Amino acid sequence: MTGGETDAPASMEKQFEDFRVKLDEAGSLRERIRAVVNEIESITRLMHASLLHVHQSRPLSEVLEKPKAQVDGLKELYGRLAEVLCECPGEYYRFHNDWRSETQTVVSLLAFMHWLETGKLLMHTEAEEKLGMNQAEFALDIEDYLIGLCFLSNEMPRYVVNQVLAGNYDCPRKVLRFLTDLHAAFRMLNLRNDFLRKKFDSLKYDLKRVEEVYYDMKIRHLANGDSAEDNGTQGQS
């Protein structure tokens, strides 16, 4: 038996021992990430539950009070997430899927709150600032932001219908203008990501549903004139 044949089992054993150590380290890191993500998910459930009251035409300040109080908590949790990831520099996307879905939901909630207050789009840099995800090694992924905006659009048709039922006849025009502009902006992108492309298609259907409500209002002579300046939403009507 040659020396090379004798060394083969030892080198194989060392390789797999190195694998074991690396996998254990990655597993431990992922468990810590999941612990933080679970807290993020818990906060988003509370925020979403509070925002559902907007469909009942409650005062906007009352609807937004609890969700806005949770934003600092989210920023703190994303700060903790950044600290964990600092232990494995350059491997952001290795663990990205562990918080991706939750972050898309967070973006949609923040964007909806921002739109309800201002009638405008929450910009990517503004979302990063709210979450503290504006570091070189820990930034808000662009696709997560875009998918979050698509989730926002999914909420709009229901919002429009409930606002009309509550007597806010100007709401369809405002939402239609917003979704039309958002749809046009998305059209500038060369979408190749399957899931993002699918969500963009859902945005088109949301726009169509809002258009149908608005045109129905026009036929019934209930819609306000388009010449009015769009300066806000429910809380500013």
State the pTM of this model: 0.85
Q: Which residues contact 190 (CB under 8 A, 6 or more apart)?
A: none
Distances (CA, A) of 102 to 41, 51, 58, 111, 157: 6, 17, 27, 14, 23
pLDDT tens, residue by residue, 128-172: 999 999 888 899 999 999 999 999 999 999 999 999 999 999 999
Q: Which residue has the tokens 């998910």?
A: 41
Using CB atoms within 10 Å of the CB of residue 220, give its burial: 0 to 12 exposed, 13 to 18 middle, 19+ buried: exposed
pLDDT tens, residue by residue, 98-119: 999 999 999 999 999 999 999 9
pLDDT tens, residue by residue, 1-33: 455 555 668 888 888 888 888 888 778 888 999
Using CB atoms within 10 Å of the CB of residue 9, give its burial: 0 to 12 exposed, 13 to 18 middle, 19+ buried: exposed
CB-based contact 109:116 (threshold 8 Å)? no
Q: Residue range 37-61: average pLDDT?
A: 93
> How far apart are alpha carbons 134 and 128 in whole angstroms?
5
> How far apart are alpha carbons 156 and 150 in whole angstroms?
10
**How many residues in the chain?**
237
